[in-house]
Amino acid sequence: MADNPLRLKSIHHVELWVGNAKQAAYYYRHAFGFSQFAYAGLETGRRDATSYALQQGKARLVLTTPMAPDDPINDHIRLHGDGVRDIAFHVDDADAAFREAVARGAQPVSEPVDRTDGSGSIRHAAIATYGHTIHSFISYRDYAGPFLPGYVGKDAPGREAGLLRIDHMVGNVELGRMNSWADWYSRVLGFSRYISFDDKDISTEYSALMSIVMSDDSFAIKFPINEPAAGKKKSQIEEYLDFYRGPGVQHIALLTTDIVATVRTLRANGVEFLRVPDSYYDVLGARVGAIDEAFEVVRDLGLLVDRDEEGYLLQLFTKPVEDRPTLFFEIIQRKGSRGFGKGNFRALFESIEREQALRGNL
Ligand code: FE2
């Protein structure tokens, strides 16, 4: 059992750097059901960038766009398109977390500083992880405002879909780098290897991937790390790496306790999901046995089901949420299973490959 050397408490928020945060905020509110609760921009005295803070359950997204052409955020957007910049942690003590992480070999990005406004202060620091992705450390002093210093409360409701929190976040890294990044999460953050998949678990005729799931000691923060594996044609991980121009966050999995209601809402909101072949449902009952949900509903909504020794899970994956085939989302409900849907990999990858073929990338 690992300890918690950085005293991580939770994922505080996930920040995406995007080309047009105003429009992205509208999409995440109207399609995914996040509600905006805070804002920082020209009207609040912030001149360099505009940020929207959105929340659904405990999952918080921040969408940020720079205002000036020479802002370094533009380098990230030019290279990667819209994508995740920061998986920020709430910690006991940002100074201690940063010191310990750097002592354990992390590359510093931002030294600890106070961030202050009329509502009080927080401490902030950051380290680098794979690609241009970072982990911020945030600890609270006396801050009593809506989100973080610099933000004002500004509500704009979304079409709530019952999403509760981030279940896991997956990083894609280059061929041959999965083990070293898994070791990095072990050495720097004190995470343990929770489960791993190799190309025998996850391969189709054309493409394969390998994955190691790293988790904190409470299993609340889970970060699978993927790398491509050899196949006849380009794997989905290679396609991601080509279009993201390097390693980065591949998907964010959001937890619900009623996936039928959640996916009904998301579909009505216009979220596009991957669809497995109908043949998947011909053998589903034999593969997973009895489940609480009505089989016809599961099939009509296109939900995927997997069972292991502990129970079962239901999941569904969106198509990429940008024009580049990069970041996508997963909706997941756990009914005892702590797995990742290994039994669905083949059907899922075949449907991903159909999409890749349509994009001319297989
Ligand atoms: Fe996942």
Q: How many helices (H) and strands (E) does the chain have?
A: 10, 17
Residue 101 CA to ligand 1 center (angstroms) comes to 26
- Taking a 5 Å cut-off on Cβ, the residues next to ion ligand 1 are 253, 330
CA–CA dist 38, 25 (Å, integer): 11
Range in 69-78, 200-209, 328-337 with the lowest mean pLDDT: 200-209
Residue 224 CA to ligand 1 center (angstroms) comes to 8
SS3 104: coil
Residue 237 CA to ligand 1 center (angstroms) comes to 13
Q: Between β-strands 304-308 and 165-172, what pairing exists: parallel, antiparallel or unpaired?
A: unpaired
Residue 106 CA to ligand 1 center (angstroms) comes to 25
- 196 and 311 in a single domain? The answer is yes
pLDDT at 152: 97
Check: CB of residue 89 under 8 Å from CB of residue 135: yes
For residue 232, name the pLDDT band (cuts at 50, 70, 90): low
Residue 340 CA to ligand 1 center (angstroms) comes to 6
Residue 253 CA to ligand 1 center (angstroms) comes to 6
Residue 258 CA to ligand 1 center (angstroms) comes to 17
pLDDT in tens, 145-156: 999 999 999 999
pLDDT in tens, 137-192: 999 989 999 999 999 999 999 999 999 999 999 999 999 999 999 999 999 999 99
Residue 252 CA to ligand 1 center (angstroms) comes to 7
- 146 and 277 in a single domain? The answer is no
- 271 and 170 in a single domain? The answer is yes
- 77 and 207 in a single domain? The answer is no
Residue 81 CA to ligand 1 center (angstroms) comes to 21
- 258 and 327 in a single domain? The answer is yes
- 283 and 179 in a single domain? The answer is yes
- 137 and 86 in a single domain? The answer is yes
For residue 231, name the pLDDT band (cuts at 50, 70, 90): confident
pLDDT in tens, 67-102: 999 999 999 999 999 999 999 999 999 999 999 999
- 106 and 243 in a single domain? The answer is no
Q: Is 289 left (phi over 0), alpha (psi -120 to 50) or beta?
A: left
pTM of structure: 0.95
Range in 52-66, 106-120, 276-290 with the lowest mean pLDDT: 276-290
| Mean per-residue pLDDT over the chain, rounded | 94
Q: What secondary structure letter does DSSP report for 344?
A: G
For residue 199, name the pLDDT band (cuts at 50, 70, 90): low
